[in-house]
Structure 1
Amino acid sequence: MNRSEKAEAVTQLNAALSDAASVVIVRNLGLTVAQSTVLRQQMRDAGASYKVAKNRLAKIALDGTPYTGLADLLTGPTAVASAADPVVAAKIAVEFAKTNPKLEIVGGGMGDTVLDVEGVKALAALPSLDELRGTLIGLLQAPATKVAQIAAAPAGQLARVFGAYAAKEAA
């Protein structure tokens, strides 16, 4: 990599980190290319990014972002996962690490808060933003459904009574 390519890589990583709601640092302890591709695809499908960068360049990219405290975690063969949804990157990294011991969660951050391994796992256990929206809509919709059922119940009872009288007269 020449100097301009390094500057471009730092700029791209800095932009991704500035827009991220959470960042997860993982250590790659011998993932194959196929395994790494699967992880990248899972991240991409969920709206997250997964970037492997030289630690020195990643530390430079962290400057000017809320995640400057993560620079100490960048030792060894590391990668940075980030997402606009605070839970997505952590959830995918933790799930992938469960099935593949060659990926180790090192830590992460959410805003100015630096998370340790347990903090990242706790973040991954939370429901995602879409799941929370679905739950909220379900909670808001349930009372309306109950009201509609209660309002329709007397009319249904009246129709059953008329049906019973009609069946009695016909017999």
Structure 2
Amino acid sequence: MKQDVLAAKQAQVDEIAKQLVGAKSVIVVDYLGLTVEQATEMRAELREQGATMQVVKNTILRRAAEKAGVEGLEEYFVGPTAIAYSETDPVGPAKIAAKFAKDVDAVEIKGGIIEGKAATLEQIQELATLPDRDGLLSMLVSVLQAPVRDFAMVVKAVADSKDDEPAA
């Protein structure tokens, strides 16, 4: 029976390590005092952004971080710990965790992983202030359209000035 428990824990360590390696960002939060409704709401918002949240034992997290080669997180694996991560969007989990940390006293961001490296609370909060993927894409499109739009306005102004000139 003991071997079965150890095998199950090792499988969990392997799975979490795989998630830590594959994630664009991982946010480590303290969730003590979070109500079921608040936890459900947070999970739903994360799911909408393509992210996942799960509660993990600290010893499992320590071993998974060690296996994933991520150093500097050991200090965050104290007390009740949940991780929010995304394999596609590095900003989404940080934004949602920061929103809940601001709105709900029970949520506290401890730190995390950004692009495979340990990140402090300050770095996570800075990441949370960035626009999301759709916002960044719309900014990029606007920047790419600007030269064409400006050229079109100049051509229209030249055409309008030609129309205003008296015939000779």
TM-score by length of 1: 0.81
1:13 aligns with 2:16: yes
Aligned to 1:35: 38
| Structure 2: runs of 5 or more not aligned | none
Letter of the 1:32 counterpart: T
Task: Give the 3 Å change call, closer, same or farther, for CA 66–131 of structure 1 in structure 2.
Answer: farther
Match of 1:88 among 92, 98, 102: 92
Aligned to 2:50: 47
Deviation at residue 59 of structure 1 after TM alignment: 1.4
Cα offsets for 1:54-97 (capped at 9, x unmatched): 11111122123253321231011101112232222111100111
Cα offsets for 1:86-132 (capped at 9, x unmatched): 22211110011111000111112224543222222122112234322
Match of 1:72 among 72, 75, 87: 75
Assess if the C-alpha contact under 8 Å between 1:66 and 1:111 holds in 2. Answer: no
Counting aligned pairs with the same residue, the percent is 36
Letter of the 1:103 counterpart: V
| Structure 1: runs of 5 or more not aligned | 166-171
- Alignment RMSD: 2.4
Q: State the 4+ residue runs in structure 1 displaced beyond 4 angstroms.
A: 156-162
Distance 1:115 1:74 in 2: 13
What SS does the corresponding residue of 1:64 show, helix, strand or coil? helix
Distance 1:141 1:19 in 2: 34
TM-score by length of 2: 0.83
Give the aligned length: 163
Aligned to 2:130: 126
Letter of the 1:67 counterpart: V
| Alignment map for 1:108-119 (pairs within 5 Å) | 108-111=112-115, 113-119=117-123
Match of 1:97 among 97, 101, 122: 101
